[in-house]
Amino acid sequence: MSMKTFCLALLAIILFHINVFGQEFNVDGINYKVTSMNPATVEVALNSSFKGNANIPDSVTNASTMYKVTSIGERAFTGCYHLYSASIPNSVISIGTRAFERCSRLTSVNISNTITSLRESTFDGCSSLTSINIPNSVITIGRFVFYACTSLTSVNIGNGVKSIGNFAFSDCTGLTSVNIPNSVTSIGMRAFQFCKGLQSVILSDSITSIGESSFVGCSNLTSINIPNSVMSIGESAFKDCYRLSSVYIPNSVNSISPIAFSRCTELTSVNIPKSVTTIGSLAFAFCSGLKSVTVHWNTPLEINANVFENVNVMNVTLYVPDGTQDAYRIAPRWKDFEIAVISGVHDFDVQDNLVQVFPNPVSHSFTVSSRDNPEGNFSYTIIDVEGRIVSQGNSSYIKPINTENLATGNYIISIITERGKQLSQTLIKN
């Protein structure tokens, strides 16, 4: 072959690739766009008028060329009101922003286990979507991903997810429970706001902060277990959680932001550890059902006058460490409470996060776990606020301890490990 012939052939190949790149074609009712010729790949292109079930294959053929389907493009199915289901193959490694936004009749989606990120507004406004399984491959859930998915009742968040973005599940009014795996380290602003059906949340043991307004307006949330990894509770984090009855704040938390629990009208008991150094304005304002507050500072913490705004604190019992009651009786803001002491317990902070009680608050039973000695045994004693022993026995880690016979209120559980270490912690019974 002459050099001239070779150059002409090469030019023809280049021109062919140029002409084909970006070309769109339709296979079985779905539009595709060529993204590469070497290797031959396509993305799902705009399908604004698609109707039916989108069963996306891992490859398609056009003009004798087989293309691998590697992505779903930005806004690929936006506003497809007659899209009912979507199946995404493992060949797809990315889903563009707003890919299924406002697909209001979409009921089910199968997300491939090759996807690493759910980008902004992927399923925003998919009001008929009932359940979603987020595979372990996903690392980030972007902002507004499931915004206003009002029929969503079940979410399985994979163990690879590290962050949940702002407004990610906001206004998912049908969601009743959420289990956030230990891989998650951050929950964004307003991530679960106005999830009015949400009754229980299990938070990751790796979360360091609960973002601003994360659970604001979750009016049916009855309990929340804040793990020992959390250091700060964001502004308005649990505002307007009307049915939240008790809150146990672990000794990892150093700040409670303004309005954090404002208008939690059924909140009856609060435990605040001595690790907390600041409580923001209106943090517990309008918590009209408050009956008891347990604190752990030997020296009363200075707080603003409006922390307990519109709470009749004269009818609220303030439980303080033994020997500190005189200091609290003259301390600004705290002196207005009914001061009491939890008898027989001088230091009831958990000093070792290797041992944890879960869940806390508790309804029917709780377990004690130990990362240091997970298969070991321990003895326990449960003491009421008047210092009376209400339950005691021996158990092993992870084995449930029944609390159905305990009355609603605050208790102290004292644990003695096999190695002779004694730990005590406030236990809240719903």
Instruction: Give the strand pairing for 40-44 and 59-62.
Output: unpaired
Instruction: Give the strand pairing for 409-417 and 377-384.
Output: antiparallel
Q: What integer pLDDT is reported at residue 2 of this predicted model?
A: 61
In-domain check, residue 306:
yes
Q: What integer pLDDT is reported at residue 410 of this predicted model?
A: 77
For residue 77, which of 86, 65, 68, 67 has the smallest C-alpha distance? 86
In-domain check, residue 11:
no
Mean pLDDT, range 383-390, rounded to an integer: 78
Q: Round to whole Å and give the CA distance between 137 and 162.
A: 11
**Which tokens sit at 305?**
């006058």
Q: Round to whole Å and give the CA distance between 211 and 401.
A: 32
Same domain assignment for residues 186 and 253: yes
Q: Residue 109 is part of a domain; what is its CATH number?
A: 3.80.10.10
Q: Select the highest-mean-pLDDT range: 47-51, 192-196, 357-361.
A: 192-196
Same domain assignment for residues 278 and 393: no
Q: Which of 293, 314, 341 is the last residue of a domain?
A: 341
Omega of the bond leading into 57 within 30 degrees of 0 (cis): no
Q: Round to whole Å and give the CA distance between 154 and 172.
A: 10
In-domain check, residue 410:
yes
Between 351 and 38, name the one with better pLDDT.
Answer: 38
Q: What integer pLDDT is reported at residue 283 of this predicted model?
A: 98
Is the predicted pLDDT of residue 344 greater than 80, yes or no?
A: no
Same domain assignment for residues 64 and 206: yes
In-domain check, residue 79:
yes
Is the predicted pLDDT of residue 285 greater than 70, yes or no?
A: yes
Is the predicted pLDDT of residue 370 greater than 80, yes or no?
A: no
Mean pLDDT, range 26-30, rounded to an integer: 96
pLDDT digits (tens, 9 = 90+) for 225-238: 788 889 999 999 99
Which segment of 16-20, 76-80, 99-103 scores lowest on mean pLDDT? Answer: 16-20
In-domain check, residue 13:
no
Residue 66 β-bridge partners: 61
Query: What is each CA distance from 27 to 42, 64, 392, in whole angstroms?
Result: 12, 13, 69
Q: Residue 372 is part of a domain; what is its CATH number?
A: 2.60.40.1930
Same domain assignment for residues 299 and 384: no
Same domain assignment for residues 225 and 299: yes
Same domain assignment for residues 69 and 131: yes
Same domain assignment for residues 360 and 336: no
Q: What integer pLDDT is reported at residue 3 of this predicted model?
A: 59
Total residue length of the chain: 430
pLDDT digits (tens, 9 = 90+) for 44-92: 999 989 999 999 999 999 999 999 999 999 999 999 999 999 999 999 9
Q: How many domains does the chain have?
A: 2
For residue 244, which of 226, 227, 268 has the smallest C-alpha distance? 268
pLDDT digits (tens, 9 = 90+) for 157-166: 999 999 999 9
Same domain assignment for residues 402 and 257: no
Which segment of 18-22, 93-97, 143-147, 425-429 scores lowest on mean pLDDT? Answer: 18-22
Q: Round to whole Å and give the CA distance between 212 and 72.
A: 32
pTM: 0.78
In-domain check, residue 185:
yes
Average pLDDT of the residues of the chain: 87
Same domain assignment for residues 131 and 177: yes
pLDDT digits (tens, 9 = 90+) for 300-338: 999 999 999 999 999 999 988 888 999 999 999 999 999
Contact 64, 41 (CB under 8 A): no
Residue 383 β-bridge partners: 389, 412
Per-residue pLDDT band at 18 (split at 50, 70, 90)? very low
pLDDT digits (tens, 9 = 90+) for 394-422: 888 768 898 888 888 778 888 887 777 76
In-domain check, residue 391:
yes
Q: Which of 297, 318, 341 is the last residue of a domain?
A: 341
Between 209 and 172, name the one with better pLDDT.
Answer: 172
Query: What is each CA distance from 18 to 12, 34, 63, 66, 394, in whole angstroms?
Result: 10, 11, 15, 17, 75
Is the predicted pLDDT of residue 111 greater than 50, yes or no?
A: yes
Report angle CA 301, 304, 279 to the nearest 5 degrees: 60
Contact 204, 228 (CB under 8 A): no
Question: In what side-by-side order are the strands of the sheet with 365-370?
Answer: 355-358, 365-370, 401-402
Contact 99, 122 (CB under 8 A): yes
In-domain check, residue 23:
no
The CA dihedral of 251, 256, 262, 267, to the nearest 10 degrees, is 10
Per-residue pLDDT band at 351 (split at 50, 70, 90)? very low
SS3 content of the chain, % helix, strand, coil (to 5): 5, 35, 60
pLDDT digits (tens, 9 = 90+) for 251-278: 889 999 999 999 999 988 888 888 999 9
Residue 368 sits in which domain range?
355-429
Q: Round to whole Å and give the CA distance between 376 and 357.
A: 15
Same domain assignment for residues 173 and 271: yes
Contact 348, 426 (CB under 8 A): yes
Same domain assignment for residues 374 and 231: no
Q: What integer pLDDT is reported at residue 21 of this predicted model?
A: 61
Q: What integer pLDDT is reported at residue 419 of this predicted model?
A: 72
Q: Which of 285, 311, 341 is the last residue of a domain?
A: 341
Same domain assignment for residues 81 and 169: yes
